[in-house]
């Protein structure tokens, strides 16, 4: 779905990160950086390099499609289409070195949206409600708060 904006769109980005011991880096990448296996339990239908899901009502109830754009040793980058009044959505999951013998799992999304629409609020709500599910999954897998 492509949206044509009458006025210049606004840009937004959200980032969430979790710290882990560096010794967990390989296991963390295998668990959290596999596009075909969303670790937080979202009910995606995965078909190769695409996955689809219906967003909850508070996020617009749209059926979105995420597409794997690149996969590399540190993680992956994906695009998303289907959300009303959103364009240029790019997301990524990466594991990077951090200070003091730690690694950081980073979820980052960036997009443009139509000013005056509900799109920013809907994406913010989705991000705010998805990150706790991710934290719970990480805690369950790694046995410690993320």
pTM for the full model? 0.91
- Cβ(118)–Cβ(85) below 8 Å: yes
Q: How far is CA 28 from CA 10, 20, 68, 124, 130, in A?
A: 34, 8, 19, 25, 18
Pairing mode, strands 50-54 and 63-72:
antiparallel
Structure tokens at 111: 């997009």
pLDDT in tens, 75-122: 999 999 999 999 999 999 999 999 889 999 999 999 999 999 999 999
Contact 74, 94 (CB under 8 A): yes
Q: Which fold has domain 10-142?
A: Alpha-D-Glucose-1,6-Bisphosphate; Chain A, domain 4 (3.30.530)
Q: Measured between alpha carbons, how far is 31 from 21 in angstroms, rounded to an integer?
A: 15
Where are the domains positioned within the chain?
Answer: 10-142
Could you report the per-residue pLDDT of 44-68, keeping only the tens digit for each? 999 999 999 999 988 889 999 999 9
**Composition of the chain by helix, strand, coil, percent to 5:** 25, 40, 30
DSSP structural state of residue 58: G
% of the chain at pLDDT higher than 90: 84
């Amino acid at each position: 779905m492509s949206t044509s904006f009458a006025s210049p769109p606004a840009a937004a980005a959200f980032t969430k990160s979790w710290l882990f011991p560096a010794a967990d880096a390989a296991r963390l990448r295998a668990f959290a950086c596999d596009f075909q296996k969303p670790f937080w339990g979202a009910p995606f239908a995965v078909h190769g390099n695409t996955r689809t899901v219906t967003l909850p009502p508070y996020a617009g109830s749209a059926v979105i499609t995420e597409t794997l754009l690149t996969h590399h040793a540190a993680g992956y980058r994906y695009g998303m289409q289907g959300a009303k009044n959103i364009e240029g959505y790019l997301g990524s999951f990466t594991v990077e070195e951090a200070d003091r013998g730690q690694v950081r799992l980073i979820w980052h999304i960036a997009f443009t949206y139509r000013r005056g629409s509900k799109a920013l609020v809907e994406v913010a709500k989705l991000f705010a409600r998805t990150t706790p599910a991710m934290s719970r999954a990480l805690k369950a897998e790694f046995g410690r708060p993320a």
